[in-house]
Structure 1
Amino acid sequence: MDKISIIVPCYNEEKALPEFYRVTSDAVNGIEGAVCEFIFVDDGSSDHTSDILESFACADSRCRYISFSRNFGKEAAMYAGLQNASGDYCVFMDADLQHPPQLLKEMYHVLKTEGYDCCAGLREDRTGENKLRSILSRTFYKIIRKTCKLDMGDGKGDFRMMNRTMADSILELKEYNRYMKGIFSFVGFDTKWIPFHNVERTAGETKWSLPSLFRYAIDGILSFSSAPVTMAGTAGALLFLAAIVTGIWALLSGNGLTGIPLLVCLILLLNGVQMFFISILGQYVSKDYMESKKRPIYIVKKKGGFTST
């Protein structure tokens, strides 16, 4: 009999977890030919998430939990869950029920009978989501498709079931700065997409603010693309030519000292652009610096429900 590991990153999800556990348990009970385990990863929550997960592990032998010493981020939580998963198939799900558990049965059937390595959910819309956030998200995915040359389209998120081969391939990528959507695409494997409609959270509030989403987007681009560096070089060459042309024009115009303010503005503009692109290069250097430290991706404070504990 196959084993399915359901990996659930959690950050301050005390309101959503009971309903998630109830609905998902009902869904997996209907999967014939497979047993399931739940691996909840508490990403340094400040509410009672850890207590709820401990109660799950005490009441249900299928439930395990890992609590981080602090908030390391969703990417680290997903990696920790995958490291501790023992299933033949592994699933990533959010605790807010925006990933429909009813699709798990179909995903398992696809992997068992159709020869795919991965079956993932394709979000068809953004119902219940802030309009500004929707516009920014769509714009980000358009940019990242062009710069990274990887299959990371809008709606192609973390909700997916994969076989053990793909899971082990992801675990081989041990970089500190992780962007899982890019990693899924990087490792390849045959993926079937199942469309589903977005729904509002079952409880609680989203932990993703616009600034955090912006940082997440920048991390994604810098992790899988050198396009910003190329853009910096191209822009530098164009601005250099523009400066020469502007200088020649100022000299030939015969305006004398009146051209000085123009040149001053031009110098300030070029210095500003230069500093901007130096910042881009600095981002790459800083990420390489963090990788060279070989720090752990996460630190475990407490575990429960595992046979070794």
Structure 2
Amino acid sequence: MTSPTPARPQDLAPELSVVVPMYDEQDVVELFVARLRPVLDDLGRTYEVLVVDDGSRDTTPALLEKARRDWAQLRVVRLRVNAGHQAALSAGLMRARGRWVASIDADLQDPPETLAAMLAAAEETSSDVVYGVRSDRSTDSFFKRGTARAYYRVMRRLVGGHVPADAGDFRLMSRATVDAINRLPEANRVLRLAIPALGFPSTTVGYVRAERAAGTTKYPLSKMLRLSVDSLTGFSVAPLRLATWFGLGGAAATALMLVFAFIAFLTDHTVPGWTSTFVAVAAVGAVQLLCLGLLGEYVGRLYTQLQGRPTYHIAYDSADDDS
């Protein structure tokens, strides 16, 4: 009788997976590794660090391979092309094997040391999700703080109060939560809204948001606007109702204008005004274009969903080399 083949280390599910999306982060890779590794080693748990290289064009892939030689728990998944932060994060969640899965950015604005507090909070409260909440954002610019505050206020009002304020993509999730996320059909999902919508038991851990350790932000204004549009159209039908409200408002305004015009006719004050006509036509046209644009966003999401095209393509997974 032959003895069973011993399980290989890469076949054993670790207790913790840490998913880290990276895109052109050559300036911060070594700093991030030096900061994260001792934190995870001190946890006393088996773990893997799954870095998703989102089609970096600089030396990030080479630096990750160099770090992997000395860090057996480091796993690198490379996407063929840049797919975006949320898609890279989704790719990491799909391939993470841990009983607990944490997600964190590489810029060190979210401190890795908070992971220990998250694990403790999850086990003490029997929660499936622990959100990292930014209790102090003084290192962010005034514009960044203002837009973030407006974003969360709008999302909480439209989507629901279950969305934690000032909680980005720094969180800890149970395996059950990650499996539920991976079954979601949305193509352009926004995880900071999709995860609270699942309704799993959750808690929060506060932390002070630090300055970026090195490099420049990979989330400019254009990507922030895209995230806002995806958040609105993906989780609320409220924008669609704008057309109805604009229509009702226009009808009310038209009724008032008819009354005014009738009174002017009776009092012989019917002097034609080019300015009022121009403003009225321009206002109606702007409202119509806005409503058409909102409808187009929703139709576009439906079209993309029906196409069923993947949001990312895996080019390489270092775990395959270890098998």
TM-score category, normalised to shorter length = over 0.9
- Secondary structure of the corresponding residue to residue 46 of structure 2: strand
Could you tell me how far apart the structure 2 residues matched to 1:121 and 1:264 are? 51
Query: What's 1:227 paired with?
Result: 238
**1:237-283 per-position Cα deviation (integer Å, ceiling 9, x unaligned):** 11122023213312321332424642342122112111111111111
Is 2:305 the counterpart of 1:285?
Answer: no
Aligned 8 A contact 2:87 2:188 in 1? no
Aligned 8 A contact 2:152 2:166 in 1? no
- Secondary structure of the corresponding residue to residue 6 of structure 1: strand
Is 2:202 the counterpart of 1:188?
Answer: no
Query: What's 2:51 paired with?
Result: 40
Relative distance call for 1:308 and 1:288 in structure 2 (3 A) is farther
Aligned 8 A contact 1:123 1:196 in 2? yes
Q: Which residue of the other structure, out of 74, 81, 85, is the alignment partner of 2:92?
A: 81
**1:160-188 per-position Cα deviation (integer Å, ceiling 9, x unaligned):** 11111111111111311110111111112
Q: Tell me, which stretches of 5 or more residues in structure 1 are unaligned? A: none
Query: What's 2:290 paired with?
Result: 276
Q: Which moved more, 1:177-186 or 1:250-259?
A: 250-259
Name the Cα RMSD after superposition: 1.7
Equivalence map 1:206-217=2 (5 Å): 206-217=217-228
Query: What's 2:176 paired with?
Result: 165
The normalised TM-score by structure 1 is: 0.94
Relative distance call for 1:155 and 1:261 in structure 2 (3 A) is closer
Supply the AA of the counterpart residue of 1:4.
Answer: L
* Residue 75 (structure 1) shift: 0.7
Aligned 8 A contact 1:57 1:305 in 2? no
Query: What's 2:33 paired with?
Result: 21
Q: Which residue of the other structure, out of 11, 20, 26, is the alignment partner of 2:23?
A: 11
Supply the AA of the counterpart residue of 1:276.
Answer: L
Is 2:67 the counterpart of 1:56?
Answer: yes
Q: Tell me how many residue pairs correspond in the alignment.
A: 308
Could you tell me how far apart the structure 2 residues matched to 1:63 and 1:245 are? 68
Question: Structure 1 segments of 4 or more deviating over 3 A?
Answer: 305-309
**1:286-306 per-position Cα deviation (integer Å, ceiling 9, x unaligned):** 111111110012012222134
Query: What's 2:4 paired with?
Result: none
* Residue 84 (structure 1) shift: 0.8
* Residue 209 (structure 1) shift: 1.3
Could you tell me how far apart the structure 2 residues matched to 1:286 and 1:188 are? 27
Could you tell me how far apart the structure 1 residues matched to 2:27 and 2:126 are? 38
Could you tell me how far apart the structure 1 residues matched to 2:308 and 2:33 are? 35
Equivalence map 1:187-266=2 (5 Å): 187-253=198-264, 254-259=268-273, 261-266=275-280
Could you tell me how far apart the structure 2 residues matched to 1:289 and 1:132 are? 34
Query: What's 2:3 paired with?
Result: none
**1:88-145 per-position Cα deviation (integer Å, ceiling 9, x unaligned):** 1100011011111111122222223431112221101212212112111111211111
Q: Which residue of the other structure, out of 296, 305, 309, is the alignment partner of 2:319?
A: 305
Structure showing greater Rg: 2
- Secondary structure of the corresponding residue to residue 56 of structure 1: helix
Could you tell me how far apart the structure 2 residues matched to 1:114 and 1:233 are? 44
Q: Which moved more, 1:65-74 or 1:109-118?
A: 109-118
The normalised TM-score by structure 2 is: 0.90
Q: Which moved more, 1:294-303 or 1:87-96?
A: 294-303
Query: What's 2:156 paired with?
Result: 145
* Residue 2 (structure 1) shift: 5.5
Supply the AA of the counterpart residue of 2:87.
Answer: A
Could you tell me how far apart the structure 1 residues matched to 2:274 and 2:263 are? 13
Supply the AA of the counterpart residue of 2:168.
Answer: G
* Residue 150 (structure 1) shift: 4.8
Relative distance call for 1:261 and 1:102 in structure 2 (3 A) is closer
* Residue 307 (structure 1) shift: 5.8
- Secondary structure of the corresponding residue to residue 13 of structure 1: coil
Supply the AA of the counterpart residue of 2:281.
Answer: I
Q: Tell me, which stretches of 5 or more residues in structure 2 are unaligned? A: 1-12
Aligned 8 A contact 1:125 1:155 in 2? no
